[in-house]
Amino acid sequence: MVNSTKLANCPSCNASNKIEIDLTALPEYNVPENVDMIAPGIFEFTLPQSQRVIHFRLLTTGDDKKISKELETQKRTIRDGIDRELTTRLKHLIVSVDGNADKRFISNFVDNELFAMDSRSFRSFIKSVSPDIKFEIDFTCSECGNGSEALSFNIDTNFFWPKS
């Protein structure tokens, strides 16, 4: 069990409350049961606007490190002020487009053929199939008794080592 005592302000009356958070009791977001993988770790999504079929996989920590290095290289070599993080991530996520798994084809598709509406739907679907932890706890204010809102929190160094 991993606990931390935090101070939180009530969203209704702004009173400061001391709360204890048990990380082992946080709810999880899992891959929905109605979503099928076409192969181990590979998902399929049909883009709503263009009707193109994308096969993709979720990114790993290793992928994130590669993407970070790639983005740093791009910032040093391409000085046009354009943020390429989203398209770079999509290029690493996508395994094939309409059955074509060629990396140059996928890169060209992301850069030149992926509609904004399709991109938004695709990213929403990715989020829906990505396992995660819900960083919210039930909260009842000790001052006003408000308990209707879930309290969101972040895990950072202050979570484990609160300021005295």
Identify the pLDDT of residue 67.
92
Bridge partner list, 57: 42
92-140 tens-digit pLDDT? 999 999 999 999 999 999 999 999 999 999 999 998 888 777 777 778 8
Structure tokens at 140: 């009842």
The DSSP-derived string for 126-159 is HHHHS-EE--EEE---TTT---SSEEE---SHHH
- Place 48 in a pLDDT band, splitting at 50, 70 and 90: very high
CA angle 7, 9, 13 (to 5 degrees): 150
- Place 56 in a pLDDT band, splitting at 50, 70 and 90: very high
Residue 95 CA to residue 92 CA, distance in Å, equals 8
pLDDT above 70 for 153: no
- Place 50 in a pLDDT band, splitting at 50, 70 and 90: very high
* Chain Cα centroid distance, residue 95: 19
Mean per-residue pLDDT over the chain, rounded: 84
Percentage of the chain modeled with pLDDT above 90: 42
Domain spans of the chain, in order of start: 3-29+133-160, 37-130
Helix (H) or strand (E) segment spanning residue 101: none
The count of other CB atoms within 10 Å of the CB of residue 151 is 20
Is-above-0.75 flag for pTM?
A: no
